[in-house]
Amino acid sequence: MASPWRPIRVWSPLLGLGFVVALIAFALQLSSRRHLAQRLWTFEELALYNGTDERLPILLGILGSVFDVTKGKTHYGPGGGYHHFAGRDASRAFVSGNFTGDGLTDSLNGLSTMEVKSVVDWRKFYMERYIFTGHLVGRYYDSQGKPTKYLKGVESKAKRGAQLLEKQKIEEDKIPSCNSKWSQQEGGKVWCDSGYPRLVKRPGDIALTGKISQRCACFKEEELGRPGLEVYKNCDYLSQSCSV
């Protein structure tokens, strides 16, 4: 019987080599890429890193976290479509899309649960794609670098949003959504492979977005008497396909 440990012994010289290679790569990276050290930033300091000075990295703040986005210069540098995000924390603009004047604020006051979740998702995007460079002192971090009540409120609202979304998904999976397509010639069309298309309200949306939206779902014939099901305009009660 072969010992189960044998393969490891065979591979261990290779593992050792891999380790040395990784160590050298790491050391090279340390010396070649001059990262900004993680630190606390003030508004005024952050504003200098807006991309206009070619010699400086480009920094972007979101929810008080600062990222080096220099590798995204085409987006964030002068002339880039997202240049307004550089050198500041314009958290709100990640959902408002308003890159002008007072739209460029870090305040999320009055945004819906879904919108707040979306900003938190953007922060995750930057965490994964860019280099974290510390925190901005202000609305989200205090002068000690500690998360503020405001940030904790934002994060718990986003978390609640994620839970509500998950719950909604589980609910909606019980009744399949309609197929849909749109074409220039035929316009919009919804259809069910099995069952009948009906418009239904998504009650969960009130908590998430403050509004009620609808979706098209496929109901079996015996379910068609349920309250709240809306037949598509100009579509037969038992038609499996409707123009919209």
Ligand X SMILES: *[C@@H]1O[C@H](CO)[C@@H](O)[C@H](O)[C@H]1NC(C)=O
Q: Applying CB under 6 A, which of residues 51, 57, 64, 72 lies at the interface with ligand HEM?
A: 72
Q: If binding is defined by CB under 6 A, does position 47 make contact with ligand X?
A: yes
By CB under 6 A, residue 67 contacts ligand HEM: no
Question: Does 36 participate in binding ligand X (rule CB under 6 A)?
Answer: no
Q: Which of ligand HEM, ligand X, none does 127 bind, CB closer than 5 to 8 A by kind? A: none
Q: Which listed range, 30-38, 49-57, 71-79, 143-151, lies at the site for ligand X (CB under 6 A)?
A: 49-57
Question: Applying CB under 6 A, does 239 fall inside the site for ligand X?
Answer: no
Residue 89 Cα to chain centre, angstroms: 17
State which of positions 73-92 bind ligand HEM (CB under 6 A): 75, 82
CA distance 171 to 174: 6
CA angle 191, 177, 212 (to 5 degrees): 115
Closest to ligand HEM by CB, 119 vs 137, is: 119
Q: Is 161 exposed, middle or buried (0-12, 13-18, 19+ CB in 10 A)?
A: buried
Cα→Cα distances 213→72, 202, 234, Å: 36, 6, 21
Burial of 64 (0-12, 13-18, 19+ CB in 10 A): buried
Torsion of CA 43, 49, 51, 52, to 10 degrees: 80
Show the binding pattern over residues 88-127: x = contacts ligand X (CB under 6 A), - = does not: ----------x-xxxx------------------------
Q: Residues binding ligand HEM: what is the number (CB under 6 A)?
A: 5
Q: Is residue 25 a contact residue for ligand X (CB under 6 A)?
A: no
Figure out which of the listed residues 41, 94, 140, 150 binds ligand HEM, where binding follows CB under 6 A: 94
> Residues near 31 by Cβ (< 8 Å), separated by ≥ 6?
none
Q: Which residues contact ligand HEM by CB under 6 A?
A: 72, 75, 82, 94, 97
